[in-house]
Chains A and B, each alone.
Chain A
């Protein structure tokens, strides 16, 4: 069965510092990986995805994520955090040819001024 793990319930970072939100997955075959962000009282918004190709993918709002097959990880990163990045971040995955997204439990990012 597919699963996604986000080991940190919350990540705290100061504005201007780099941030990393961790994600590991368990998907048979080649995974399709996603990051979504959820702001308060809003639906989830797509940030970026990995399907194939370059292991470093770039997405919205300056975010990027690195696919590491050997570590089955897909960590979300940003070089310089903004207070407005504070939100709930979800990692998600599905296996090739099977569009059934499995989400992690989410990581709350808190960026302090």
Chain B
């Protein structure tokens, strides 16, 4: 069974440029998450999808970040424009559902460097 696939693996951009990350969750997983992981920190939730609906985006900086999950499968996270402080690892995860206690399956992440 294929795991959660993310691309690109690394991305280097200049500040004020746009950037997009892509995630393909495990087949059949209804819930998809985007997490932000700063160096030396644990992951922090940015947004959670139930199928194609964003049910928790309270931590997403909506002035520059946007996300979508078309058809309830793949998802894209976008930053426009990027700032120096956005340099971090962006993790995508999926789970069968969001009932309590479900384990999350994580992708390898996209490491973003903003110069």
A→B interface (CB under 8 Å) = 4, 32, 34, 36, 41-46, 49, 51, 90, 92, 94, 96-101, 103-106
**Contacting residue for B91 out of A43, A46, A104, A105, CB 8 A:** A43
Which residues on A sit within 8 Å (CB–CB) of B101? 32, 49, 51
Verify A42–B105 contact, CB threshold 8 A.
Answer: no
Verify B44–A103 contact, CB threshold 8 A.
Answer: yes
- Which secondary structure characterizes the binding site on chain B? loop
Do A96 and B100 contact each other (CB < 8 Å), given the known contacts A43-B91, A105-B41, A105-B42?
yes
Nearest-Cβ distance from residue B113 to partner chain A, whole angstroms = 15
B→A interface (CB under 8 Å) = 3-4, 31, 40-45, 48, 56, 91, 93, 95, 98-109
22 contacts between A and B (CB under 8 A): A4-B42, A36-B104, A43-B93, A44-B43, A44-B104, A45-B106, A46-B104, A49-B101, A90-B43, A94-B100, A98-B100, A99-B31, A99-B48, A99-B99, A99-B100, A100-B56, A101-B45, A103-B43, A105-B40, A105-B41, A105-B42, A106-B40
